[in-house]
């Protein structure tokens, strides 16, 4: 949405609600947007925290050199 569309919306809102109600409506919309942003940040941090816990609970993978060494039989070494 660009600047011209926003201006049209604000003009229509001014005509419908009047100059006395417009600041109150703007304030309540601002609070609603702030609440949505806070909830979004909280949700994102919760997801990150859960992902870190899952990563921490995974068993450690053995190194590639250990895999190769364990897959070679003693007869092949000699």
For 28-68, the pLDDT digits (tens) are 989 999 999 999 999 999 999 999 999 888 876 655 545 55
Q: What is the 3-state secondary structure (H, E, C) of 34-70?
A: HHHHHHHHHHHHHHHHHHHHHHHHCCCCCCHHHHHHH
- What is the pLDDT at residue 74? 56
* Total count of domains within the chain: 1
Rg of the Cα atoms in the chain: 30
Q: Which domain holds residue 28?
A: 19-57
The answer to whether residue 25 sits within a structural domain is: yes
Residue 28, domain member (yes or no): yes
Do the domain assignments include residue 71?
Answer: no
| Residue 53 counted as domain residue | yes
């Amino acid at each position: 949405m660009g600047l011209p569309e926003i201006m049209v919306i604000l003009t229509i809102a001014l005509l419908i609600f009047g100059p006395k109600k417009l600041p109150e409506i703007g304030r309540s919309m601002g609070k609603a947007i702030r609440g949505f942003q806070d909830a979004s940040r909280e949700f994102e941090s919760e997801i990150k925290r859960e992902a870190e816990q899952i990563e921490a609970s995974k068993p450690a993978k053995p190194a590639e050199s250990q895999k190769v060494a364990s897959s070679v039989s003693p007869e092949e070494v000699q």
